[in-house]
């Protein structure tokens, strides 16, 4: 796999607007009538905090469809559930865009009928991911974008302040913060690698070059693992879902952590003394999507959901609650002033030009990384 040494993405590329006029035509009364004609249920296997109650209530009121949400906290858990059932029992699932190489040969997804989706409503750069990286066996797109966000540094403003106003992945492992930090094992270790690059202890670009082959990965992750094992006692909590992040920050169990953007920003919206910001090494950027299970039974309900979710007003109302970002053009205009303020504070200066996009992850990479993570956990 070829991978640029510096996988950076700009705000212009990430947030390029789609045509609002084209979407307005798609969202005409005929669309609403079709949605209302659906009834029944929809079984969704999706990240735990992606479906606010008010969003589901509005969807039910408009369409008569009840969503049965099975929450997941990681791509690994999602894959395990799908492989165990072959996709049976689920209609929509929510893999991250960079996991396409792990899904390609499983045969548990079916292609989308894009003629039934308001594609002009979406950021076209994100939408193309489905027709390129997720076009399995040339049968068409097996994935569409649903939310995007980042992993950076969150902290309690009443307990900790970043040096020089900008946090670093290295802060999670710093001795002065011992017993006050949290992270997710595999991504906190990758964040440590980015810190080691910036400190000159790893070659520039080594963390991303590790995705190219096992031979390149092995020495890089050996160095990262050795460094993290030596500092393991610094990290108080290892999280694996959004709720764990929220609880730890809200209760003050930790003062700072490497987290997703949504959980701390949702707390911030409630008035909690919490801040989230892209670190100086660059926030890790991901796009989570929706895909149809090969054994989906509620097909009409799936497309009614996508039409509802890809309406700017509905998408904006949702991101205002959970704190992530939408691929729907114009959604931010319906998310309120708090969302705009949080976004600006999370990505100050050139932070949006310094984002690190998660590369496509080959199965061999995932397997090798698991081995290194287990070494860290067992230490």
CB-based burial label for 69 (10 Å; 0-12, 13-18, 19+): middle
Question: What is the dihedral angle through the alpha carbons of 186, 348, 50, 266, rounded to the nearest 10 degrees?
Answer: 100
Q: How far is residue 352 CA from its own chain's centroid? A: 16
Q: How confident is the model at residue 7 (pLDDT cuts 50, 70, 90)?
A: very low
Q: Which fold would CATH assign to domain 151-284+351-378?
A: D-Maltodextrin-Binding Protein; domain 2 (3.40.190)
pLDDT in tens, 265-278: 999 999 999 999 99
Q: Which range, of 13-17, 55-59, 265-269, averages the lowest pLDDT? A: 13-17
Residue 330, SS3 per DSSP: coil
Spatial separation of the C-alpha atoms in residues 13 and 118, rounded to whole Å: 20
* Cα separation, 371 vs 365, whole angstroms: 10
The pLDDT tens digits of the residues spanning 176-220 come to 999 999 999 999 999 999 999 999 999 999 999 999 999 999 999
The CATH 3.40.190.10 portion of the chain extends over 10-148+286-346, 151-284+351-378
Q: What is the pLDDT of residue 164?
A: 84
* Fold of the domain spanning 10-148+286-346: D-Maltodextrin-Binding Protein; domain 2 (3.40.190)
Do 161 and 277 contact (CB within 8 A), yes or no?
no
């Amino acid at each position: 796999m070829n991978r640029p040494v510096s996988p950076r993405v700009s705000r212009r590329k990430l947030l390029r607007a789609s045509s609002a006029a084209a979407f307005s035509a798609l969202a005409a009364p005929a669309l609403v009538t079709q949605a209302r004609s659906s009834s029944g249920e929809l079984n969704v296997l999706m990240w735990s905090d992606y479906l606010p109650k008010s969003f589901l209530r509005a969807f039910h009121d408009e369409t008569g469809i009840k969503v049965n949400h099975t929450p997941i906290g990681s791509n690994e858990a999602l894959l395990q559930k799908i492989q165990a059932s072959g996709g049976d029992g689920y209609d929509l699932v929510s893999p991250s865009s960079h996991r396409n190489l792990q899904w390609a040969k499983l045969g548990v997804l079916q292609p989308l009928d894009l003629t039934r989706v308001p594609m002009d409503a979406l950021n076209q750069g994100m939408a193309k991911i489905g027709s390129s990286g997720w076009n399995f066996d040339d049968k068409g797109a097996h994935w569409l974008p649903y939310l995007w966000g980042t992993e950076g540094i969150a902290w309690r403003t009443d307990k900790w302040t970043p040096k020089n106003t900008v946090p670093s992945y290295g802060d999670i492992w710093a001795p002065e913060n011992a017993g006050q930090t949290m992270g997710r094992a595999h991504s906190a270790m990758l964040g440590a690698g980015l810190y080691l690059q910036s400190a000159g202890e790893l070659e520039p670009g080594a963390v991303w070059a590790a995705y190219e082959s096992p031979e390149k990965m092995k020495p890089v992750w050996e160095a990262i693992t050795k460094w993290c094992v030596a500092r393991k006692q610094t990290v108080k909590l290892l999280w694996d879902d959004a709720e764990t992040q929220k609880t730890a920050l809200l209760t003050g169990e930790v003062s700072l952590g490497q987290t997703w953007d949504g959980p701390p920003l949702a707390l911030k919206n409630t008035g909690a003394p919490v801040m989230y910001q892209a670190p100086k090494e660059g926030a890790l950027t991901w796009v989570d999507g929706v895909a149809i299970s090969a054994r989906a039974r509620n097909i009409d309900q799936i497309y009614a959901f996508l039409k509802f979710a890809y309406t700017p007003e509905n998408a904006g109302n949702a991101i205002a609650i959970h704190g992530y970002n939408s691929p729907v053009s114009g959604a931010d205009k319906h998310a309120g002033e708090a969302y705009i303020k949080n976004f600006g504070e999370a990505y100050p200066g050139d932070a949006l030009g310094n984002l690190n996009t998660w590369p496509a992850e080959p199965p061999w990479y995932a397997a090798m990384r698991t081995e290194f993570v287990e070494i860290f956990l067992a230490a």
